[in-house]
Amino acid sequence: MTATAVEQNNNAIEAVREALRTDVIEVIRSQIAELQTMSREAAYEHVMSRPLLLDGCFQLFRMRPQIFREVVVDDSGTPVTNDNVVLRCGRTLGDAITLVVRAAAKRYFRSNSHMIQGGGKGPRAAETLYGVLSHYLRFDWQAGLIPNYIELPPSLIGTLGEYLLEFREGAQIMGLRDHDPLIEDGGPPLLLDSAKRLFEGGKDTLDSEVLWKVCQRMKLARVLANESVRDLRIAVSNIITASPEALAEMMPTLGGDVRRFTVFLFVVYSRHGVQFFKTHFGTGGRSYVIRRWMTRLRQNPIPPPTLAALIESYEAVINTATSELDDG
């Protein structure tokens, strides 16, 4: 990069920062009660020091872009909502988001360096972690995950590399701390593997031990009414009774992602009851209904692999497709 290009880049970054500290934070202050009594500068510092609040600000922008229509604009004054569009400052919206997320992460790591595993202590630990992680901090949805990232050793982040961007839930990121020999051998983390990992070696039935590991790393007790370990064990003991025929119906649609495959089984079990599960997934069950559910899933956009998004998508398909079959 030439000296002129470097200067232009630095000027653009400074323009982003200035817009955030002035016009953008003014809009945010008008919408968030806890910021309204603060000065503009204090509100900016407050948001940038609190990843979960910053996440809420990003969600505000995504859900109500119209309130930012006069401050997030391109060179002609047209409102910008697409990450690839160049803003008035000369950088894209995506670039601006990346800048904010990285700045917030650096602040958080410095303020909470005592939590960092490995990489030294104090400021040195914060710099080490940020140095390893910064390349993978690119998106607004990562802001709320910054407190989770700080609990991952820098060495693990380096090993995961781009895999890290496949995790959009704090619970799943925490699951990465568990020992996973495949990662060390260059393979995918358990939660990014295919559903074939769930099956007993050479068999077409589920392996209870592997299913339990997936449940633990995804914190799937959250799906259950009581969220207890005991109920999770009971759920696993029932779900592993799923017949080979029923599981085979799921594989072409959900078999490529162990998280999506597992959550579907848990949604059927937890939201509709053990008898409903056995009726459809038990030996001699209603495999044709499962086939209908999978057909419906393929017709819909693939949701991100977060628990809330998967539950919403699966519930809609199960309820609609089952109702249509009953009516027919």
CA-wise closest residue to 268 among 215, 326, 317, 303: 317
**What pLDDT is stored for residue 174 in this prediction?**
85
Whether pLDDT at 305 is above 90:
no
Range of the domain at 108: 3-166
Tens digit of each residue's pLDDT (9 = 90 or more) over 199-213 = 987 789 999 999 999
Q: Is residue 179 part of a domain?
A: no
Last residue of a domain, one of 109, 131, 166: 166
Judged by average pLDDT, the poorest of 25-39, 110-124, 295-309 is 110-124
Alpha-carbon distance of 111 to 113, in angstroms, equals 6
CA distances from 138 to 60, 93, 101, 249, 265 (A): 18, 11, 7, 37, 32
147 pLDDT band (50/70/90 cuts)?
Answer: very high
| Span between the terminal Cα atoms of the chain, in Å | 66
Does one domain contain both 8 and 157? yes
Residues 100 and 45 in one domain: yes
141 and 222 part of one domain: no
Q: How confident is the model at residue 16 (pLDDT cuts 50, 70, 90)?
A: confident
Report pLDDT for 51: 97
Could you give the C-alpha distances from 132 to 99, 100, 162, 166, in angstroms and in order?
Answer: 16, 17, 12, 17
Q: How many domains does the chain have?
A: 2
Q: Specify the residue for token string 């002129």.
A: 4
In a domain, 177, yes or no: no
Confirm whether 32 is domain-assigned.
Answer: yes
Please state, in angstroms and rounded to a whole number, the distance separating the CA atoms of residues 14 and 63: 26
| Sign of the Cα pseudo-torsion (29, 30, 32, 33, in order) | positive
Q: 44 and 154 in one domain?
A: yes
pLDDT at 63: 96
Q: What is the pLDDT of residues 232-268, one digit of tens each?
A: 999 999 999 999 999 999 999 999 999 999 999 999 9
Helix 287-299 / helix 307-327 crossing angle, nearest 10 deg: 120
In a domain, 184, yes or no: no
Co-location of 88 and 214 in the same domain: no
Answer yes or no: do 132 and 267 share one domain.
Answer: no
The helix-helix angle for 307-327 and 258-272 (nearest 10°) equals 60
11 and 134 share one domain: yes
Q: Provide the residue type at 73 as one letter.
A: V
The answer for 119, left when phi > 0, alpha when psi is -120 to 50, beta otherwise, is: left
